[in-house]
A = this chain, B = another copy of it.
Amino acid sequence: MLEKTTRVNYLYDFYHPLLTEKQRSYMSLYYLDDHSLGEIAEEYEVSRQAVYDNIRRTEAMLEEYEEKLGLFEKFQKRTKIMETMKQLVDSSPTVSKELVSLVDELEKVD
C-alpha cells in the first residue's frame, strides 16, 4: 500500500500539469494532505463515491501517461546512474571541482 502511494505521488509529480484543476485538487487533498474521501466529499459538496471515482480515474490516467511517456521510469534510471556517479566522484581525490558541480547541476534539472 505504501509503495503504491509513493508511486502515485511520483506520477502525480510528473504529470499533474496535464490534469484538470478538480483532479489536481482531489489528488492533492487525498495523497499529499492525507484527507479522507469523506472529508473531500463534504468540502466539495459531492458524494463520497464521486470523489472515489474521480480519484481512481485520475490514477488510471496517470498510469496511462506513464505508459506513453515513461517520465518516472527515466527518472529512476537517471537517478541510479547519478548516484553511482556521485559516489565515484566523491571518492576520487583527483576529480575536479567543476565535475562535482556539473553532477549537482544535472541533478537539479529534474
- Whether A102 contacts B84 in the complex (CB less than 8 A), given A68-B17, A69-B17, A95-B95, comes out as yes
Chain B, residue nearest A93 (CB):
B94
**Which candidate, A27-35, A51-59, A73-81, is the interface stretch facing chain B?**
A73-81
> With an 8 A cutoff between CB atoms, is A109 at the interface?
yes
A: interface residue count bin: 20 to 34
Interface SS of chain A: helix, strand, loop or mixed?
A: helix
Query: Within the assembled complex, what's the spacing in Å between the Cα atoms of A69 and B74?
Result: 14
> With an 8 A cutoff between CB atoms, is A41 at the interface?
no
> With an 8 A cutoff between CB atoms, is A60 at the interface?
no
Q: Give chain B nearest CB distance to A67 CB in angstroms.
A: 8
- If A78-B109, A95-B95 are given as contacts, then 11 extra A-B residue pairs at C-beta distance below 8 Å, sorted by A number, are A18-B65, A71-B71, A77-B109, A81-B106, A82-B106, A85-B102, A85-B106, A88-B98, A88-B99, A89-B99, A95-B99
